[in-house]
Amino acid sequence: MTLFGKERKIVWILLTTTLCAAQSPGLLVADDEAKSGPSTKDVRIKPDAPTPPLTERERELLDQQRWLLEHVAQLEKRVEELETKEHARTAGATPAASNAAEEVVASGHEGTRASALGNSAAPPMTPAGSPTLEAASSVGIVQPTGEFPVQPKQESSTGTVAAVATTAKQEPVAPFSDADWTWLNGNARTKEIYWDTKFFTPEIRFDTNYVADFNHPADHSIGGSSELFRSYEVQLEQLGVGGDFHWDNVRGRLMTQFGMYSVTTPRNDPSPGHGQWDLANAYRYISEGYGGYHFNVLHGINVDAGIFMSYIGLFSYYNFDNWAYQPSYVSSNTPWFFNGVRVQIFPTAHLKIEPWFINGWQSYASANHKPGLGGQIKWTPKPWLNIISNNYGLGEDDLFIKGRSRIHTDNSVEVKYYDNPERELDKMAFTLTGDLGCEYGSGVSCYGDHKGGPKQSFIGYMAYNRVWFHHDLFGLTIGGGQINNPGRYLVLIPPINGETAVTAATNSPYFTGNPGDPFKAWDSSITFDYMPKQYITFRWEYDYRHANVPYWSGRGGITPPGGNNGYPQYYVCSSGATSGQTSLGAAESACGGGISSVWFPDLRKNESFIDMAIMVKF
């Protein structure tokens, strides 16, 4: 029997009891008269005789009867309304829950489906299958007061409900679905999907920015960033259209990237220089593309193959999901994606173990002959705590350098230390990320100046604190970080004369990446968000960045006279022509006028800017 079926039965029992009680006063009176006076069997009442007045007790009982009938009618009407809503909710929630078990576990961070499931408002159930009285009150069920309290019927533990509970198969909780994780850095805050089906969940993103660089580069070119690329111009950072496909445990995801990302992301990958088929162009318009299968084992196992997000460095590749627009180096200089195979194993609803077999370190192909191995462990022991550990190794990721391997560990903790939705200051959280890594072999060492060669390592950290105001309408984030990367193997090469990761692997005359080359840097930022709807963010941010060597674009810019000449691996003459030489002395001779005849980019040790963005996600 359903919850509302039981309530309806109670209503009819109360109604029957009331009607019987309404007849009892007359019976009682007649009985008293029989005991105290002569029999009334032969008494005949004339039709036109006046009706005798009601006694005080009869009037009291009649008022109670009328009161109870009115409240029973209200209760029955309320039960019908709740039963209708329950049927509608059950019909709508069943397919969503089945899809969520396969969808929310797709990425390194929880999806919107998990948030929706985790915030269910269904009343708590008693062992008998009925809602508690407190829950009934919370959803508006009328409870009679005064002399006639309604007592719910108690089912036997050996009855029908117990039998159903015993025979019904209990479905495991979908991973990370029992809490709201939209507060996490790197996680989208959208909780509702306008158009969702059993087969397809759409996703559309727009990200447009404007940057005011206080170095005022003449060519408007910004270097050293994986998020900001042009100054004093409105630029479409990303236009992404795609979504998730899911049917009969088969799954797939597609997300396109048009705009600046389609050029800037492929240029940071050296692997297309290893062999043929122009992989940079083959993949440039795809940020995510994979297919796989969901196994109903434990709390779920996913096997996916293709291009997927890495979440090394905590921040998401998509700026809408992040607390800040320009993340610190620990995030900006580490992989945004992998191309390979991943297996997501969920032993519990709060633990994910995800091994990777991938082509390399943010690479479409393998830079040499060894693939990369790695994985992620994600643990959420509390609704206010998220712990992530990413680890990578084995891969040889320096193009044209065989025998040089890379290892890296990236570890983050996110803590929501205040949550009071009713206050003006309604939420506060912080993140802390620490990274360690190195390269070894082929002339470099993890420990420095040992037999293997000079030290080639990476150490860095970043920390951010965010507060939300006025029911999450506003957000304020303060943070920053620091790195030390001798050998510069994870430093983003400035795009001087069109330099890319492929050409820099041959030679980078103006910003070298030789073993032992120093690079130390730190940054800080303050970010203000206005979020009038869950689908849009207006963002203003100020950033300051410093390096111990000239690195950021200065007023003179990083583009040669006349534009890029197509030979970034060589020094450029002051005329804009290539010198055809990789050494400065030879370039001076080739350009014909000594040092003054050679062009140099304007690089600075400091950079500060304000960036403004409008980001939309459906």
Per the CB < 8 A criterion, the answer to whether 242 and 254 are in contact is yes
What whole-number distance in Å separates Cα of residue 177 and Cα of residue 116? 8
- Residue 373 backbone dihedrals phi, psi, to 5 degrees: -125, 150
pLDDT at residue 169 in the model? 59
Q: Name the band, by pLDDT with cuts 50, 70 and 90, for residue 52.
A: low
Taking residues 469-475, what's their average pLDDT?
A: 96
When pLDDT is cut at 50, 70 and 90, the band that residue 82 belongs to is: confident
Cα–Cα dist 481/461, whole Å: 5
Measure the CA–CA gap between 73 and 64, rounded to whole angstroms. 14
Cα 187 to its chain centre, rounded Å, is 2
Is 414 within 8 Å of 212 (Cβ atoms)? Answer: no
| pLDDT for the residue numbered 61 | 74
How far is residue 231's CA from residue 233's CA, in Å, rounded to a whole number? 5
Judged by DSSP in three states, 583 sits in coil
What's the CA gap between 535 and 518, in Å, rounded? 43
Instruction: Output the CA torsion 190→195→199→202 (10° steps).
Output: -50
Q: Return the ∠ at Cα 156 (arms to 152 and 158), rounded to 5°.
A: 155
CB 388 within 8 A of CB 314: yes
Pick from 295, 294, 298, 328: nearest CA to 313: 328
Region label for 176, one of left (φ > 0), alpha (ψ between -120 and 50) or beta (otherwise): left
CB 223 within 8 A of CB 545: no
pLDDT tens-place string over residues 557-588 = 999 999 999 999 999 999 999 999 999 999 99
Domains and CATH numbers, the chain: 3-36+53-103+120-167 (no CATH), 201-555+605-617 (2.40.160.10), 559-600 (no CATH)
Buried b (16+ CB within 10 A) or exposed e, 257-274: bebbbbebbbbbbbbbbb
Q: Is 60 exceeded by the pLDDT of residue 99?
A: no
pLDDT category at 452 given cuts 50, 70, 90 is: confident
User: pLDDT value at position 68?
Assistant: 76
Res 151: pLDDT: 36
Residue at 226: amino acid letter: S
Give me the residue label for tokens 């069109």: 498
pLDDT at 617 over 50: yes
Rounded to 5 degrees, φ, ψ at 515 are -55, 130
**pTM, to two decimals:** 0.74
| Inter-CA distances, 510 with 143, 409, 491, 515, 600, Å | 80, 30, 14, 15, 8
How far apart (Å, rounded) are the C-alpha atoms in residues 410 and 333?
A: 12
| Long-range contacts, 366-369 (Cβ 8 Å, 24+) | 366/271, 366/274, 366/395, 366/396, 367/270, 367/271, 367/273, 367/274, 367/395, 367/396, 367/397, 367/398, 367/399, 368/274, 368/396, 368/397, 368/398, 368/399, 368/401, 368/402, 369/396, 369/402
Task: Summarize pLDDT for 482-501 with one digit per residue, the tens.
Answer: 999 999 999 999 999 999 99
C-alpha–C-alpha distance, residues 211 and 222, integer Å: 10
DSSP letter string over 481-528? EEEE-TT-TTSPPP-GGG--HHHHHH--SSS---TT---EEEEEEEEE
- Give me the percent of the chain exceeding a pLDDT of 70: 76
| Residue pLDDT, tens place only, 191-247 | 888 889 999 999 999 999 999 999 999 999 999 999 999 999 999 999 999 999 999
pLDDT of residue 129: 35
Question: In 3D, which of 84, 69, 74, 68 has the Cα closest to residue 3?
Answer: 84
Mean pLDDT of the region 58-73: 75
Residue 65 pLDDT exceeds 60: yes
Give the pLDDT band (50/70/90) at residue 57. low
8-state DSSP, 370:
-
State the pairing for strand pair 337-348/385-393: unpaired
SS3 content of the chain, % helix, strand, coil (to 5): 25, 35, 45
In the predicted model, what is the mean pLDDT of residues 131-156?
33
Based on its alpha-carbon atoms, the radius of gyration of the chain, rounded to whole angstroms, reads 35
Burial class (CB in 10 A: 0-12, 13-18, 19+), 120: exposed
Burial 596-609 (b: 16+ CB within 10 A, else e): ebbbbbbbbeebbb
Give me the pLDDT at residue 30, please.
Answer: 37
Q: Measured in Å, how far apart are the chain's first and last C-alpha atoms? A: 41
Mean pLDDT (whole number) for 157-178: 59
Contacts of 220 (CB under 8 A, 6+ apart): 230, 231, 232, 233, 557
Nearest CA to 85 out of 121, 115, 114 is that of 121
Distance CA 618, CA 613 (A): 17
Q: Give start and end residues of each alpha helix (H) in 284-406.
A: 329-332
